[in-house]
Amino acid sequence: MSDTDSHETETPSLRTPIVAVLGHVDHGKTSLLDKIRGSTVIEGEAGAITQHIGATAVPLDIVSKVAGKLVSPDDFDLPGLLFIDTPGHHSFTTLRSRGGALADIAILVVDVNDGFQPQTEEAINILAQSQTPFVVAANKIDTTPGWNPNPDSPIKATYDAQSDRARSMLDQNLYELIGELSDAGFSADLYWRVQNFQNNIGVVPVSAETGEGVPDLLTVLMGLAQRYMREDMEIDVTGPGAGTVLEVKEEKGFGTTLDVVLYDGTVGADETIVVGGKNAPIVTDVRALLKPRPLAEIRTEDRFEKVDSIGAAAGVKIAAPDLDDAMAGAPVRVVRDREIDDVIEEVEAELAEVEVSTAEEG
């Protein structure tokens, strides 16, 4: 992309990597997201997780608190992780950014007893095609016969504390899973044996029920992002915002609104935006930018808080006129000091790509 028509000096900064959760139905995607949210809510602490529209942000210091000895904040400069709240590969494939996947990294959840299932195969193909780095969460380790749970423990400690019998049952399941990954063309191993995450998939044994292994999972995600996505996380924080529509929703008092994941730049409460629509791109002016109110402050009629501007990476609700024809998965762009026609063209080009890729999936 060209920067020639940008009048402002770039202010590069690092944004939060966006994380998606994929896997077969019932393998524990939703439970795992809930567990991550639950274990990262540290009450009364400044900088704890924040609920965005459609996403949850876990800052680095909280990742490091949950991960304990596994993560030293000094090893990272990325600000944390932003988890997309809607799991599943349907949302993954419809959510794109500039031709790539909206998610920067992914968790592939596999029930360790059940192993590979049809949607696991689909998900892994999608991840391979979009070249999205991912980690495998070998979930439900607590259902291993004879398992003695150690809630929220790192995997090594709880593994060592099990009986020989429980350990060898789990080992057997894990090796079968590693074999299935290898049959699917991925060299994989237990994550602590993986030296190079670019050539090998790390498998993290976890339980979304007991939280065992969740510290390890957060550690591996943070490490993957830091090592392999860092350059892509360098954005012009003050540039015109770019994002993807998660959902188009009626909202009482606001009419049709867009739930958007912003992955670049900023959007202001009075700015002109271009959004992909059913027939043609929609040009409209933001009427309100909305964030969820913190839980403690929620009153029934008043779920949202208005903000003046918001910067990537973030989930935000945009209220504006004329959004009825907007589409989930479509690009959103802030016009700012650019020519509207150029921005419309950009949105059209990207929409064509989204449509092609959706058609290919059948």
Angle at 105 between CA 221 and CA 261, to 5 degrees: 115
The Cα–Cα gap between 101 and 67 comes to: 27
Is 158 part of any known ligand binding site?
A: no
> Which CB, 134 or 304, lies closer to ligand GDP?
134
Assess contact for 302 and 253: CB atoms under 8 A.
Answer: no
> Which CB, 13 or 31, lies closer to ligand GDP?
31
Q: How far is the CB of 119 from ligand GDP (least distance, A)?
A: 9
> Which CB, 16 or 207, lies closer to ligand GDP?
207
Is 69 part of any known ligand binding site?
A: no
Q: How far is the CB of 24 from ligand GDP (least distance, A)?
A: 7
Is 30 part of any known ligand binding site?
A: yes
* DSSP state at residue 326: B
Radius of gyration of the chain (CA): 21
> Which CB, 33 or 282, lies closer to ligand GDP?
33
Largest CA distance in the chain: 67
The Cα–Cα gap between 274 and 38 comes to: 36
Q: How far is the CB of 325 from ligand GDP (least distance, A)?
A: 31
- At 287, list the tokens: 């009427």
> Which CB, 25 or 296, lies closer to ligand GDP?
25
Q: How far is the CB of 38 from ligand GDP (least distance, A)?
A: 13
> Which CB, 87 or 243, lies closer to ligand GDP?
87
> Which CB, 108 or 262, lies closer to ligand GDP?
108
Q: How far is the CB of 223 from ligand GDP (least distance, A)?
A: 22
Is 142 part of any known ligand binding site?
A: yes
Q: Which amino acid makes up residue 6?
A: S
Q: How far is the CB of 33 from ligand GDP (least distance, A)?
A: 8
Please count the other Cβ atoms lying within 10 Å of the Cβ belonging to residue 349: 12
Is 140 part of any known ligand binding site?
A: yes
Is 24 part of any known ligand binding site?
A: yes
- Residue 205, classed as helix, strand or coil, is strand
* CA dihedral angle for residue 238, residue 239, residue 241, residue 242, rounded to 10 degrees: -130
Interacting residue ranges for ligand GDP, rule: CB under 6 A: 23, 25-31, 87, 139-140, 142-143, 207-209
Q: How far is the CB of 139 from ligand GDP (least distance, A)?
A: 5
Is 87 part of any known ligand binding site?
A: yes
- Residue 333, classed as helix, strand or coil, is strand
Q: Which residue has the tokens 């596994």?
A: 70
Residue nearest to ligand GDP (CB): 28
Beta-strand relationship, 272-275 and 282-285: antiparallel
Is 139 part of any known ligand binding site?
A: yes
Is 23 part of any known ligand binding site?
A: yes
Angle at 210 between CA 206 and CA 215, to 5 degrees: 50
The Cα–Cα gap between 113 and 95 comes to: 30
The Cα–Cα gap between 95 and 41 comes to: 27
Binding-site residues for GTP, please? 23-30, 85-89, 139-142
Binding-site residues, please? 23-30, 85-89, 139-142
